[in-house]
Amino acid sequence: MIEIPRVRGEDGVSATTAHLQSHGCVIIERLVPEDLLEHIEADLSRVLEKVGTNNTEFAGQNTKRLNGVLSLVPATQKLAMHPTIIAMVERMLLPYCVRYQLNYDSIMHLMPGETSQDLHRDGFIYPFRHPAPAYTVACMWAQSEFTLENGSTCLVPGSHLWEHERKPRAEEVIQAVMPAGSVVLYTGGTYHGAGANRSNAPRTGISLQYSYAWLRQELNMYLTYPPKVAKTFPGELQRLIGYDFAAPYLGFVDGGSPQTLLKDGPTETRERSRPEIDEAFEKLEPIALGDGVSRINFD
């Protein structure tokens, strides 16, 4: 049985990324300091009081989910921009894009009695055939302790390397048991799903996912964080949620960067790219799509 690799923050980005590449998932234990956990919990508890359960088979009959966490719980911005995570995302995604983006955010608050979620690949929302290069990297932050009993995330290590049609067997599923403040990362090709909460207390996770900036975001960030909200964010976070070029000439507004919408005063430039983006674009590794076009019937 293949286990989920476990590391500590001090083990370094190179070693941790290597585990993510080989296993499709990795746990970094206790990456969040206690004071930040407490800050997040104070805001989150007030927000969750006003949220009902999803009442759907996939999202959970006894699970509270909500998006827009970067503004609802501002302390989570530090998770989205955590240096260790950003360094790993860059290593995983930048070979095939000049910019990466936050693709999705959510609180996942599993109440007692919640059943297990169907195993799935996040990458199935895009028409890529597996195995494929990592085009999404997901982070599930443990706001509370993740245990076998309370529904810790189920993962299938190594499944990111499987052929497209291969499905997991029960004995291949491993739960991401980890203390609060830890995070499990997994790629879009890795089978996973929420576990069943058989305990008498809720399990709370914060999901932040990243992708190539040239992919359509799963969560519509521009409606979730319109300019009047996004302009209150740090510049790095503005770019991370999509207020930036995705590549030369990709994503411009009024002839320039979408980030200018968040600034007061006249637009300084209408250039549809930046030198560092142009330079990075020239170094990209093209993604081969195979000969599928030759098999398409246009009749």
- Domain parsing of the chain, residue ranges: 6-218, 223-282
Asked whether the predicted pLDDT for residue 266 surpasses 90, the reply is no
CB within 8 Å of 41: residues ≥ 6 apart:
143
How far the first Cα of the chain sits from its last, in Å, is: 48
Asked whether the predicted pLDDT for residue 294 surpasses 60, the reply is no
Question: How many Å separate Cα 55 from the centre of its chain?
Answer: 23
What fold characterizes domain 6-218? Jelly Rolls (2.60.120)
Give pLDDT tens digits for 160-210.
Answer: 999 999 999 999 999 999 999 999 999 999 999 999 999 999 999 999 999
* Of 56 and 45, more confident: 45
Are 169 and 236 within 8 A, CB to CB? no
d(CA 192, CA 155) in angstroms, rounded, equals 4
How buried is residue 239: exposed, middle or buried, by Cβ count under 10 Å (0-12/13-18/19+)? Answer: buried
Asked whether the predicted pLDDT for residue 108 surpasses 60, the reply is yes
Beta bridge partners of 104: 209
